[in-house]
Amino acid sequence: MADEPLVLGIETSCDETGVGIVRGHTLLADAVASSVDTHARFGGVVPEIASRAHLEAMVPTIERALKEAGVAASDLDGIAVTAGPGLAGALLVGVSAAKAYAYALGKPLYGVNHLASHICVDQLEHGALPEPTMALLVSGGHSSLLLAPDITADVRPLGSTIDDAAGEAFDKVARVLNLGFPGGPVIDRYAKQGDPDAIAFPRGLTGPRDAPYDFSFSGLKTAVARWIEAKRNAGEEVPVAHVAASFQEAVTDVLTRKAIRACRDEGVDHLMIGGGVAANSRLRAMAEERCAAAGITLRVPRPKLCTDNGAMVAALGAEMVARNRAASAWDLPADSSLPVTEPHVPDPSAAATSGHSHTHDHAHTHDHDHVHELSRKNLYS
């Protein structure tokens, strides 16, 4: 099992209940139950609805994943779960479920970072991640440039958005265009019929004095909204496809430019793009073109692995097991603002990086007793 650990991963940081199972770098199952339709009528994710939906979907989704993978829960080498960042209540459902399964099955628990998982998932598509890897993570909640010398222990933030996330900009522009939620996929579709050069929308933070790796999409979103408003006020029809294509071009231009600059500056010849926005067809094509011109190897997982899923959590969990990283404690918290510099949350009583089995087992036996005591207290008080 050492280098091909069988790990189940649970992801509940937002509105997808994801359960994935991997063996090393091989994907065995990727079950997802989404509550996105329930949120659509509110125009965004409603945290309390998401938490309730996770609770209802959890056990059936785990059972579906085990069936799909054709493995027994008792064969697992570990259970991984997103410990953060994400919606507190939503994370809590996943963390509690992971603890329950890990404890009942007697398996180690690995609380892992959602962002590091988005990077690590590419191992399921393109094999072992080169070290270091540059990662551009673009989703509804994040836009970050990360340098990852070791995905299990060393992830360094180079830059991030100072206002809206890239996906958020897609969602907001889609709302102004009355295209529904989530906005990314529908803008991507409309943009295919539009001219990306029809409207010159601003490229945020690309001046010579601007932070080279930070992003800003709020000005762009406002510029698009104003442009649409002016058209409507003039009684003219809004050319939705042109707006979509020109907006999308502005976002993808800035994202790829900055990512490639970071690779050059840091001397990294691999760029990984992940997160929901990495499903964007223009971003993929532009990154392909610009990376090829810069001599950088581009790695983008298939769209289903880019959006939130359990397989990415399992992939990072498997890497933790393979590299002998310490497991998490039974009182692992759900941390809505877990920093990206913490790819996983090891048991604080275990040695920092060594997963030496002796100390390890000890810590666990101790924690088992602790949990046992707690649950007895709850039962009888």
> Residue positions in the annotated binding site for substrate?
137-141, 171, 184, 188, 280
Among positions 301-340, residues that touch ligand KG4 (CB under 6 A) are: 307-308
Min separation Cβ 282 and ligand KG4, Å: 8
Binding to ligand KG4 (CB under 6 A) within 123-182 occurs at: 139-141, 167, 170-171, 182
In 88-142, where do the E strands start and end? 109-113, 133-138
Nearer to Zn ion, 308 or 335 (CB): 308
Residue 280 CA: distances (Å) to CA of 21, 106, 181, 224, 328: 26, 41, 15, 19, 35
**Range 130-169, binding Zn ion (CB under 5 A):** 139
- 280 forms part of the interface with ligand KG4 (CB under 6 A): yes
Report the partner that residue 24 touches, choosing among Zn ion, ligand KG4, none (CB closer than 5 to 8 A by kind): none
Structure tokens at 177: 């265009």
Q: Which is nearer to Zn ion, 161 or 246 (CB)?
A: 161
Among 7, 10, 14, 287, binds ligand KG4 (CB under 6 A): 14
User: In terms of Cα–Cα distance, which of 141, 144, 95, 86 is closest to 119?
Assistant: 144
Q: Which does 183 bind (CB under 5 to 8 A by kind): Zn ion, ligand KG4, none?
A: ligand KG4
Minimum CB–partner distance for residue 187 and ligand KG4 (Å): 6
Q: How many residues bind ligand KG4 (CB under 6 A)?
A: 19
Q: Is the dihedral of CA 188, 286, 158, 309 positive or negative?
A: positive
Report in angstroms how near the CB of residue 352 gets to ligand KG4 at its nearest: 28
Contacts of 63 (CB under 8 A, 6+ apart): none
> For the purposes of burial, counting CB atoms within 10 Å of the CB of 130, is it exposed (0-12), middle (13-18) or buried (19 or more)?
middle
Nearer Cβ to ligand KG4 (284/290):
284
Partner interacting with residue 18 (select from ligand KG4, Zn ion, none; CB below 5-8 Å by kind)? none
Cβ proximity of 221 and 172 under 8 Å: yes
Tokens of 127: 């094999």
Smaller CB distance to ligand KG4: residue 61 or 280? 280
Q: Which does residue 307 touch among ligand KG4, Zn ion, none (CB within 5 to 8 A, set by kind)?
A: ligand KG4
Q: Could you say whether residue 30 binds ligand KG4 (CB under 6 A)?
A: no
DSSP H or E stretch at residue 145: strand 143-150
CB contact set of 203 (below 8 Å; sequence gap of 6+): 220, 250, 253, 254
Pairing of strands 78-84, 6-11: parallel
| 317 binds, options Zn ion, ligand KG4, none, Cβ within 5 to 8 A by partner type | none
If binding is defined by CB under 6 A, does position 277 make contact with ligand KG4?
yes
Start-end of H helices in 280-356: 281-294, 303-306, 310-322
Asked if 183 interacts with ligand KG4 (CB under 6 A), we say yes
CA–CA distance, 238 with 273 (Å, rounded to integer): 32
Among 20, 84, 108, 184, binds ligand KG4 (CB under 6 A): 184
List 308, 319, 342, 367, residue binding Zn ion (CB under 5 A): 308
- The nearer residue to ligand KG4, 170 or 330, going by C-beta atoms, is 170
Query: What residues form DSSP beta bridges with 20?
Result: 9, 30
Q: For the sheet containing 26-34, what is the strand order?
A: 26-34, 16-23, 6-11, 78-84, 109-113
The contact set with ligand KG4 (CB under 6 A) reads 14, 139-141, 167, 170-171, 182-185, 188, 275-277, 279-280, 307-308
The contact set with Zn ion (CB under 5 A) reads 139, 308
